[in-house]
């Protein structure tokens, strides 16, 4: 393995320590009530974590994409209610790759600009119009990034959030997924670097969600093992019942699986396009999330249903992330089409070689 | 009274109820609605001629209906608008039948009619922090003092506690007996001094289940249901009705005559653009399972009525109903796509409620244990504490 195929252990350690300190049950509950978590965000941003993998020249924190995804995995693990992916490897990445300034505050990005938001170019400006749905944390963002495909170019519009109308909406996890309306908002024209287009953005979004999900499933599995070992019914810990052990095994298997695919995709993405691995990672993470949330909730009994116990911070995030940047059906059919196009003879090489075979 | 024909029942019901149209939707039990009035109006309306609980005696709000007549009424009732009766379900479906079996004449006279008319809401104070699946481990005590009982302890997950006028409460009256033997069942007024309710919020933002703290609450011996030490037997009656009840309501809103699409499919059709064969397969599988499940529940229900008490078949019904609810919720939410994750998305509340369905009323694992032991005759689970006094097993002496 080369240097850049490894995560910097210091990143794991410091991010884990920081997030354990700043994300406790109360602060996550409070964020849900208000739709924001300024204290968590400020402490997290102060370390430069959101901007890892963006060059220092471009205003980022440096470091590799692997490091950035490791931080996202830990954000998922701690159910941190912050727009880490949006500010960094999604929005920040689009800005840096169109030579635009990174704001000091929160950046978010329109996930589905394609259908609902359009842009038109005149001179050195682009005018953006439309209504974007499910924009993460728009209400607290300083800038809203809109990737647009205009003629043969990918235009990255960086919009001051004060120039948009923002209606609050929340996802299952109680995190903001706002509706943002752009009414002829004019911003300077910025063209994305070669290779950065809407498709690449969509894959990057899926990669971010796979990392978050791997972390959340792992934490959920650990929580369930420890709860069922403490919880006594019929004179013994419920973890001693084989029916409960089956749930625990599903949780642990899915945690291992999701982490493995997320890390494989991350490693490949640090090297090249990695479309095949990312598609597979998001699909596998989606399915793992569905199984593991069922198993872990069932093993917890009523305790897992209450807001006072932390399981729902993880399960509700997983149900939401599962739906972002590609559902099971979308990635299954994408993978299916690729496999069919490669033909029978190439199936095994595709499975073992992944994106390298496609390129 | 002679049994009415299906057509006669329909004519009678049409006088007091509105017919259900194809786009009438069922709400999710208890989640998201605090409206007690609609259910109250419906029950007040149907109680006069005993339409909602037909098998109950006429003087208690029923119509002394036979088992056969009762299932016919149930079937015809599906054609009419019946509101969400979640707030009233413990009284109607569990306490009522248990009182008919174990209650005194005075208890039946005082308590049944207000249940049938929607006047009184009951809740179920069984579970405790240390007594979930292991229900016989309840620790809330009742001590006799003359012809009164003094209660102390804590219950948890008590759904509907904040609405309830009464609770049916399982208490320990003799800690020196083995755990199943020292229990007694009581009815307690929720307004009693010494009863305090602390609502808990569920992950679907439903705040209808609570912790209930009981400290020195006094009730008269008239509130005891069944004999002293017979609490477990009464509890089993209540739970059997809970499970079987869940079953007979099963199948969601499948159309009575089986011709039109059930409304949940109709709703999903609006959402899906392209109906993949995978999607169609899932819909058809749920529909087929629901239909057979309804028939099975009807058969088990008729059987239960002829023997007077539902047996372990209720556990099978509960498993199927839960499975159907979960499948429909997840399919609806999946069909809604990314929008399904939003608060106003299709299947949002159901997806957040679904995990609780296989827990409340006895977990899936416990239902399967019951089926294994009582229907299939498999060897029972090892029960080390069966013959040991509760206070000893509690101290970990075994
Ligand atoms: C929404 C909701 C509403 C409720 N409303 C009420 C109410 O109104 N009144 C009331 O009294 N209670 C109520 N309950 C409580 C409910 O009855 C209990 O949650 C249920 O009995 C399970 O107990 P528990 O939650 O303590 O889980 P536990 O008993 O702790 O179970 C944890 C896990 O261990 C498994 N397990 C336990 N024992 C065994 C075994 N022997 N074999 C195999 N697996 C086992 C369980 O299946 C579960 O997966 C409600 C619960 C919920 C979720």
- Please report the DSSP string for B132-147 in residue order: SS-GGG---EEEEETT
Phi-psi sector, A250: left (phi>0), alpha (psi -120 to 50), beta: alpha
Residues A237 and A225: their CA atoms lie apart, in Å, by: 11
Measured from the Cβ of residue B208, the count of other Cβ atoms closer than 10 Å reads 23
Q: Are the C-beta atoms of A262 and A271 separated by less than 8 Å?
A: no
Ligand 1 centroid from CA B94, angstroms = 18
Residues A108 and A91: their CA atoms lie apart, in Å, by: 6
Ligand 1 centroid from CA B363, angstroms = 6
Residues in chain B, total: 398
Helix (H, G, I), strand (E, B) or coil at A133: strand
Indicate the residue among A188, A213, A237 that finishes a domain.
Answer: A188
User: What percent of chain A is modeled with pLDDT above 70?
Assistant: 98
Q: Is A324 on the interface with B (CB under 8 A)?
A: yes
Q: Which of A227, A251, A323 to mutate to test the interface with B (most CBs of B within 10 A)?
A: A323
In a domain, A193, yes or no: no
Q: Tell me, what's the pLDDT at B177?
A: 96
In a domain, A205, yes or no: yes
In a domain, A221, yes or no: yes
Domain with residue A306: its CATH number is 1.20.140.10
User: Is a pLDDT exceeding 50 seen at residue A331?
Assistant: yes
Indicate the residue among A188, A219, A244 that finishes a domain.
Answer: A188
The domain locations on chain B are 6-121, 123-241, 243-375
- Do A202 and A327 share a structural domain? yes
What are the tokens at A136?
């993460």
pLDDT-wise least confident of A14-28, A219-233, B79-93, B149-163: B79-93
In a domain, A27, yes or no: yes
Task: Tell how many helices (H) and how many strands (E) occur in chain A.
Answer: 14, 9
Over residues B216-233, the mean pLDDT reads 97
Q: Please name the fold of domain B243-375.
A: Butyryl-CoA Dehydrogenase, subunit A; domain 3 (1.20.140)
- Do A121 and A63 share a structural domain? yes
Query: pTM of the entire structure?
Result: 0.95
Domain residues for the domain of A299 are: 198-358
- Do A170 and A243 share a structural domain? no
Residues B214 and B194: their CA atoms lie apart, in Å, by: 6
Q: In sequence order, what are the beta bridge partners of B93?
A: none
Q: Which atom of ligand 1 is nearest to the CA of A303?
A: 25
Q: Are the C-beta atoms of B317 and B293 separated by less than 8 Å?
A: yes
- Do A213 and A179 share a structural domain? no
Residues A293 and A300: their CA atoms lie apart, in Å, by: 11
Q: Give CA separation, B288 vs A86, A93, A351, B269, B317, in Å.
A: 44, 49, 37, 18, 15
Q: Tell me, what's the pLDDT at B389?
A: 92
Q: Quick: pLDDT tens for B173-223.
A: 999 999 999 999 999 999 999 999 999 999 998 888 999 999 999 999 999
In a domain, A98, yes or no: yes
Of chain A residues 25-54, which have a CB less than 8 A from chain B?
none
From chain A, the residues in CB contact with B155 under 8 A are none
Helix (H, G, I), strand (E, B) or coil at A34: helix
Q: Quick: pLDDT tens for B351-377.
A: 999 999 999 999 999 999 999 998 899
- Do A160 and A140 share a structural domain? yes
Would you call B242 a catalytic residue per the annotation?
yes
- Do A207 and A126 share a structural domain? no
Question: Is A319–B348 a contact, with Cβ atoms under 8 angstroms apart?
Answer: no
From chain B, the residues in CB contact with A320 under 8 A are 341
Q: Tell me, what's the pLDDT at A1?
A: 45
Q: Are the C-beta atoms of A281 and A268 separated by less than 8 Å?
A: no
In a domain, A341, yes or no: yes
Residues B341 and B331: their CA atoms lie apart, in Å, by: 13
Q: Tell me, what's the pLDDT at B252?
A: 41
Over residues B308-324, the mean pLDDT reads 82
What are the tokens at B13?
């019901």
The residue contributing the CA closest to ligand 1 atom 49 is A299
What lines the ligand 1 site, CB under 6 Å? A 231, 233-234, 238, 241, 243-244, 298-299, 301-302, 305; B 123-124, 126-127, 132-133, 157-159, 209, 356, 359-360, 362-363, 365-366, 369, 381
User: Is a pLDDT exceeding 80 seen at residue B148?
Assistant: yes
User: Is a pLDDT exceeding 80 seen at residue A73?
Assistant: yes
- Do A353 and A206 share a structural domain? yes
Residue B104 DSSP symbol: -
- Do A91 and A32 share a structural domain? yes
pLDDT-wise least confident of A42-51, A247-256, B86-95, B256-265: B256-265
- A107, burial (CB in 10 Å: exposed 0-12, middle 13-18, buried 19+): buried
Q: Tell me, what's the pLDDT at A321?
A: 98
Q: Tell me, what's the pLDDT at B256?
A: 38
Residues B5 and B351: their CA atoms lie apart, in Å, by: 40
In a domain, A286, yes or no: yes
Q: Number of structural domains, chain A?
A: 2
What are the tokens at B57?
């005696």
- Do A204 and A135 share a structural domain? no
- Do A327 and A239 share a structural domain? yes
Measured from the Cβ of residue B386, the count of other Cβ atoms closer than 10 Å reads 13
What are the tokens at B103?
């209650």
Q: Quick: pLDDT tens for A18-49.
A: 999 999 999 999 999 999 999 999 999 999 99
Q: Tell me, what's the pLDDT at B31?
A: 59
Q: What are the residues whose beta carbons fall under 8 Å from the beta carbon of A92, sequence distance 6 or more?
A: A50, A51, A54, A60, A102, A107
Given A170, A235, A294, which is nearest B384 (Cβ)? A235
The ipTM assigned to this model is 0.92
Q: Tell me, what's the pLDDT at B263?
A: 73
Over residues B276-281, the mean pLDDT reads 85
Over residues A311-332, the mean pLDDT reads 96
Ligand 1 centroid from CA B362, angstroms = 6
DSSP letters spanning B327-350: HHHHHHHHHTGGGGGBTTSTTHHH
Indicate the residue among A188, A220, A246 that finishes a domain.
Answer: A188
B123-241, which class in CATH?
mainly beta
Measure A199 CA to nearest chain B CA, in Å: 18
pLDDT-wise least confident of B138-147, B172-181, B247-256, B300-309: B247-256
CATH architecture of the domain covering B6-121 = Orthogonal Bundle (1.10)
pLDDT-wise least confident of A42-46, A79-83, B102-106, B257-261: B257-261
- Do A110 and A231 share a structural domain? no
Edge-to-edge strand order for the sheet containing A117-122? A117-122, A125-136, A177-188, A165-167
Residue B27 DSSP symbol: P
- Do A118 and A143 share a structural domain? yes
């Amino acid at each position: 393995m080369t240097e850049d195929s490894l995560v910097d252990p210091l990143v794991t350690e410091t991010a884990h320590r920081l997030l354990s300190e700043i994300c406790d049950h109360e602060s996550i509950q409070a964020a849900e009530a208000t739709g924001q978590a300024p204290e968590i965000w400020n402490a997290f941003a102060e370390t430069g974590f959101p901007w890892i993998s963006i060059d220092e020249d471009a205003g980022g924190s440096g470091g590799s994409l692997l490091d950035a995804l490791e931080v996202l995995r830990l954000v998922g693990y701690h159910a941190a209610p912050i727009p880490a992916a949006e500010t960094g490897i999604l929005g920040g990445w689009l800005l840096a790759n169109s030579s635009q300034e990174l704001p000091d505050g929160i950046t978010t990005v329109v996930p589905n600009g394609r259908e609902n938001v359009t842009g038109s170019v005149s001179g050195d400006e682009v005018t953006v119009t439309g209504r974007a749905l499910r924009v993460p944390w728009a209400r607290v963002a300083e800038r809203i990034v809109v990737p647009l495909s205009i003629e043969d170019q990918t235009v990255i519009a960086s919009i001051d959030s004060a120039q948009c109308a923002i209606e609050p909406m929340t996802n299952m996890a109680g995190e903001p997924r706002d509706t943002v309306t752009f009414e002829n908002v004019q911003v300077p024209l910025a063209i994305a670097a070669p290779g950065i287009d809407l498709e690449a953005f969509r894959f990057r979004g899926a990669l971010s969600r796979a990392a978050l999900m791997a972390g959340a499933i792992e934490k959920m599995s650990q929580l369930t093992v420890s709860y069922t070992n403490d919880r006594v019914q019929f004179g013994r810990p419920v973890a001693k019942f084989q029916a409960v052990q089956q749930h625990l095994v599903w949780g642990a298997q899915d945690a291992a699986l999701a982490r493995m695919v997320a890390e494989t995709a991350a490693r490949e993405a640090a090297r090249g396009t990695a479309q095949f691995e990312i598609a597979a990672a998001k699909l596998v993470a989606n399915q793992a999330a569905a199984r593991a949330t069922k198993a872990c909730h069932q093993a917890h009994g009523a305790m897992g249903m209450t807001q006072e116990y932390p399981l729902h911070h993880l399960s509700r995030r997983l149900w939401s992330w599962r739906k972002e940047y590609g559902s099971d059906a979308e990635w299954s059919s994408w993978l299916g089409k690729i496999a069919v196009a490669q033909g029978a003879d190439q199936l095994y090489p595709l499975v073992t070689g992944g994106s390298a075979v496609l390129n | 009274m002679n049994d009415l024909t299906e057509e006669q029942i329909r004519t009678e019901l049409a006088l007091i109820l509105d017919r259900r149209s194809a786009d009438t939707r069922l709400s999710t039990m208890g989640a998201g609605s605090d409206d007690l009035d609609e259910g109250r109006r419906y029950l007040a309306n149907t109680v006069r001629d005993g339409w909602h609980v037909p098998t109950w005696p006429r003087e208690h709000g029923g119509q002394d209906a036979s088992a056969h007549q009762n299932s016919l009424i149930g079937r015809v009732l599906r054609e009419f608008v019946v509101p969400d009766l979640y707030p009233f379900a413990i009284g109607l479906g569990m306490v009522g039948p248990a009182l008919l079996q174990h209650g005194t004449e005075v208890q039946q006279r005082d308590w049944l009619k207000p249940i049938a008319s929607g006047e009184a809401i009951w809740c179920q104070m069984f579970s405790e922090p240390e007594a979930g699946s292991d229900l016989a481990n309840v620790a809330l005590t009742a001590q006799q003092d003359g012809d009164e009982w003094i209660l102390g302890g804590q219950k948890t997950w008590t759904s509907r506690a904040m609405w309830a006028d009464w609770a049916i409460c399982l208490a320990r009256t003799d800690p020196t007996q083995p755990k199943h033997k020292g229990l007694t069942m009581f009815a307690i007024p929720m307004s009693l001094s010494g009863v305090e309710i602390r609502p808990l919020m569920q992950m679907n933002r439903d705040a209808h289940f609570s912790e209930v703290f009981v400290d020195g609450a006094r009730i008269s011996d008239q509130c005891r249901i069944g004999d002293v030490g017979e609490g477990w037997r009464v509890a089993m009656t209540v739970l059997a009705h809970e499970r079987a009840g869940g079953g007979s309501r099963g199948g969601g809103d499948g159309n009575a005559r089986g011709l039109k699409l059930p409304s949940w499919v109709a709703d999903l059709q609006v959402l899906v653009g392209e109906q993949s064969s995978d999607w169609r397969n899932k819909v058809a599988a749920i529909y087929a399972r629901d239909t057979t499940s309804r028939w099975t529940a009807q058969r088990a229900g008729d059987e239960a009525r002829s023997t007077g008490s539902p047996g372990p078949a209720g556990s099978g019904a509960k498993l199927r109903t839960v499975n159907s609810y979960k499948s429909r919720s997840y399919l609806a939410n999946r069909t809604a796509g990314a929008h399904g994750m939003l608060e106003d998305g299709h299947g949002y509340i159901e997806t957040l409620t679904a995990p609780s369905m296989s827990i409340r009323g006895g977990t899936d694992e416990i239902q399967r244990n019951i089926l294994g032991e009582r229907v299939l005759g498999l060897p029972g689970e090892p029960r080390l504490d069966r013959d040991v006094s509760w206070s000893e097993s509690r101290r970990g002496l075994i």
